[in-house]
Structure 1
Amino acid sequence: MKTTRHWLNVVAVAATIAFCAASVQAQPFYEGKTVRVIHGFGAGGGFHRSGEVVTRHLTKHVPGNPTFVVESMKGAGALIAMNYVYNKSKPDGLTIGYLFANQLVREVLGGTGIQFDSTKYKWLASPSYTTAVCTTTAASGIKSIDDWRNAKEPVKFGAISRQGDLAHDIPKLLSALAGLPVKIVVGHKGGNPDMKLAAERGEIAGFCASIEATRIVWGEALDAGTAQVLIQIAENPDPMIPDVPTAKKLVSDEDWLLFAAAVANPGRMTRVFAFPPGTPDDKVQLMRKALMETFADPDFRAEAKKLKVSVNPVSGEEVERLVAQMHSLPPATIERLKELLSGE
């Protein structure tokens, strides 16, 4: 009798242990966790807005439904944030960078301040490829490419800095390759919202940015006709702006390859979510899947449309391919871009 009772106790204890182990095993890693999502621009810009709308819906596609907190770590054209995610965040799946692909151009060109190897980030996905555009106020008098080309003085365009900044690189290339008169005014550390205010004050004519950021910052002015998109940096017109001239038509085929390397190709992954190097592959695959599910979520798409956030997803695998492509640019192309983008 005692033996029977003993074995019953053993079986009960074993069953309890097995049940507890199964419960622990079944508990998703992200349950009860908070995930930081860090980007390098101001809280009022397109990066922050798109990051928030993505993560609001991402939580329901991640097992355990973690809390996502979007943080702005602005400075140096998003370089501070990119360096931080790469070097200081733990590879534990609890920090995600929302990274600016134009800094990868700066990396390939050997720019200063780069403290990362972009081939080692764990690329997750991008909510949208984008087309870069240049926008001016109607009050500037520069309402078309002809107005720009025939301007009596160089047209002032705003930028954050002279390195790794799309707002700097586009007008610089348009000046060098298309002959458009340009004066770049740097120092707008607040990014696109800051430059829009400067344009409204008449300090600059406008600035260049992604079409998504342009819609967010300039939306009302574009609708009212007090601002206009002058040019899109594309080979073929973006369906959103089919009547806006393309840069491809203003330059030779050879020079377009430079635009493609510096602007158009990185634009296919402008805003990308990424884990730091060393993040376990199971977490990388889980988050890649969750992000792509989010981008297909009808509720997410409806809110994104309402907030003017573009949705044309790019997978983590495709981002990896594009990054590798950037790192395989011919030396002659790299040297020519260095020459064009340097100086004032």
Structure 2
Amino acid sequence: MIRITLFSTLAIFLSWGSSLAQENFYRGKTVRIIVGLAPGGGFDTYSRLIARHIGKHIPGNPAVLVDNMPGAASLLATNHLYKVAKPDGLTIGNFVGGLVMHQRFGAPGVDFDGVKFEYLGAPAQDNFMIGLAKSTGITSLEQWMRSGTVIKFGGVSPGGGTDDLPKVLKATLGLPLQLVTGYKGTGPIRLAFNAGEVQGISNSWESFKSTWPNEMEKGEVTIVLQATVKAHPEVPKNIPVAYDLAKTDEARRLIRTQAVVNGVTNRVYALPPRTPKDRAALLRNAFDATLKDAEFLADAQRARLDINPISGTEIENEVKSIFRLEQPLVDKLKEILK
């Protein structure tokens, strides 16, 4: 009995000592969240909200700042997190998880191994929608397909849902679109959309609500297709679902795979490889606690941000599943997304 008590006391002491060490480490320091896309879009909006609240859930209450590092659908930031950022628990990356699929393709410029990141999680699963400008005069998918009008879509870069989903939908459903890529994020695409440079976008429902509210309320953008496997409960029931329109098993597999890649793993938060396990666990707990924080949730509601957390373990499993996809499917996606 005495022996058990001694072991219990020792375990409590070691746990307390570890917590105190972490508190001493973070006190007076600054944690950076590197966002791989430009200010004004959904990634940036989520990250700035998280930055305002996560510090109080980290022992030592460090300051938390957001730095934007846009480039190639967050590829620049992802490579930086993998190769340059110190694995000390002071840098969190927020990048497009779909880039891991391009790692599987062996795409040039991908200088990271997605399996080796320490994933904190994601604040929500994304559900991508196809939106068209009011100026097109098109109000439904049926009308668009019947007219055959080729519409210019704004994109960011391969790996993101702004680019990869339109390509897959063009290949599987025959959507008449032309992708104009190279924008730094959905914020700059919104400016181009409003200026008439592009008239279409593949964007998440979550980002439409939070960063395109004026366009949505004024009817300047019309949702004509859900680029998903199943209907979103908030979207009008007359908006068709891409998966339901696919006519072949291959088309359904392609749509499902891309919808998951750009949905579950879209806006991930992660730490550099080799971050100490105790620090990674601490930040994972802080991230989880933030997404349950009452003040955070109230701010998210005011900002029209959906919060439906995905754990770091779930993200890690989804990333690993990309490397288990059958090769013929991967080859077909690579051909479509090149």
- Offset of residue 176 of structure 1: 1.1
Aligned length: 320
Matched, 1:302 2:285: no
Matching residue within 143, 148, 156 for 2:144: 148
Indicate the percent of aligned positions where both proteins have the same amino acid. Answer: 35
Matched, 1:230 2:227: no
Matching residue within 237, 242, 245 for 2:240: 245
Matched, 1:178 2:178: no
3-state DSSP class of the match of 1:321? helix
1:178–1:68 CA distance, 2 compared to 1 (3 A): same
3-state DSSP class of the match of 1:296? coil
Give the conservation status (yes or no) of the 8 Å contact 1:149–1:180: yes
1:262–1:152 CA distance, 2 compared to 1 (3 A): closer
- Offset of residue 289 of structure 1: 0.9
Which residue of structure 2 lines up, in the alignment, with residue 117 of structure 1? 113
- Offset of residue 25 of structure 1: 4.8
Task: Report 1:278-297 matches (<5 A).
Answer: 278-297=274-293
Give the letter aligned to residue 242 of structure 2: A
3-state DSSP class of the match of 1:167? coil
Mark the runs of 5 or more structure 1 residues left unpaired by the alignment: 1-20
Distance (whole Å) between structure 2 residues aligned to residue 30 and residue 109 of structure 1: 39
**Normalization by structure 1: what TM-score?**
0.88
Matched, 1:28 2:35: no
Task: Report 1:103-114 matches (<5 A).
Answer: 103-114=99-110
Distance (whole Å) between structure 2 residues aligned to residue 145 and residue 169 of structure 1: 19
3-state DSSP class of the match of 1:269? coil
Distance (whole Å) between structure 2 residues aligned to residue 152 and residue 339 of structure 1: 24
1:180–1:35 CA distance, 2 compared to 1 (3 A): same
Distance (whole Å) between structure 2 residues aligned to residue 90 and residue 175 of structure 1: 41
Which residue of structure 2 lines up, in the alignment, with residue 11 of structure 1? none
Matched, 1:93 2:89: yes
Which residue of structure 1 lines up, in the alignment, with residue 159 of structure 2? 164
Which residue of structure 1 lines up, in the alignment, with residue 335 of structure 2? 339
Matching residue within 255, 261, 276 for 1:259: 255
- Offset of residue 27 of structure 1: 4.5
- Offset of residue 310 of structure 1: 1.5
3-state DSSP class of the match of 1:160? coil
3-state DSSP class of the match of 1:290? helix
Matching residue within 134, 137, 143 for 2:133: 137
3-state DSSP class of the match of 2:149? coil
1:230–1:319 CA distance, 2 compared to 1 (3 A): same
Task: Report 1:9-48 matches (<5 A).
Answer: 25=21, 27-48=23-44
- Offset of residue 217 of structure 1: 2.9
Distance (whole Å) between structure 2 residues aligned to residue 46 and residue 206 of structure 1: 17
- Offset of residue 202 of structure 1: 2.4
Distance (whole Å) between structure 2 residues aligned to residue 152 and residue 25 of structure 1: 64
- Offset of residue 26 of structure 1: 8.1
Give the conservation status (yes or no) of the 8 Å contact 2:129–2:226: yes
Which residue of structure 2 lines up, in the alignment, with residue 273 of structure 1? 269
Which residue of structure 2 lines up, in the alignment, with residue 319 of structure 1? 315
**Normalization by structure 2: what TM-score?**
0.90
- Offset of residue 124 of structure 1: 0.9
Superimposed CA distance per residue, residues 230-262 of structure 1 (whole angstroms, 9 cap, x where no aligned partner): 111212111221523211121134312112222
Distance (whole Å) between structure 1 residues aligned to residue 256 and residue 275 of structure 2: 31
- Offset of residue 323 of structure 1: 0.6
3-state DSSP class of the match of 1:105? helix
- Offset of residue 180 of structure 1: 1.7
Distance (whole Å) between structure 2 residues aligned to residue 75 and residue 94 of structure 1: 22
Distance (whole Å) between structure 2 residues aligned to residue 144 and residue 26 of structure 1: 55
3-state DSSP class of the match of 1:69? strand
Give the conservation status (yes or no) of the 8 Å contact 2:26–2:62: yes
Distance (whole Å) between structure 2 residues aligned to residue 68 and residue 238 of structure 1: 33
1:289–1:247 CA distance, 2 compared to 1 (3 A): same
3-state DSSP class of the match of 1:77? coil
- Offset of residue 334 of structure 1: 0.5
Distance (whole Å) between structure 1 residues aligned to residue 119 and residue 19 of structure 2: 31
Instruction: Tell me whether 109-118 or 251-260 shows the greater mean CA deviation.
Output: 251-260
Instruction: Tell me whether 80-89 or 242-251 shows the greater mean CA deviation.
Output: 242-251
- Offset of residue 24 of structure 1: 7.3
Mark the runs of 5 or more structure 2 residues left unpaired by the alignment: 1-16
| Moved segments of 4+, more than 4 Å | 21-27
Distance (whole Å) between structure 2 residues aligned to residue 26 and residue 326 of structure 1: 34
Matching residue within 195, 219, 236 for 1:201: 195
Distance (whole Å) between structure 2 residues aligned to residue 197 and residue 25 of structure 1: 47
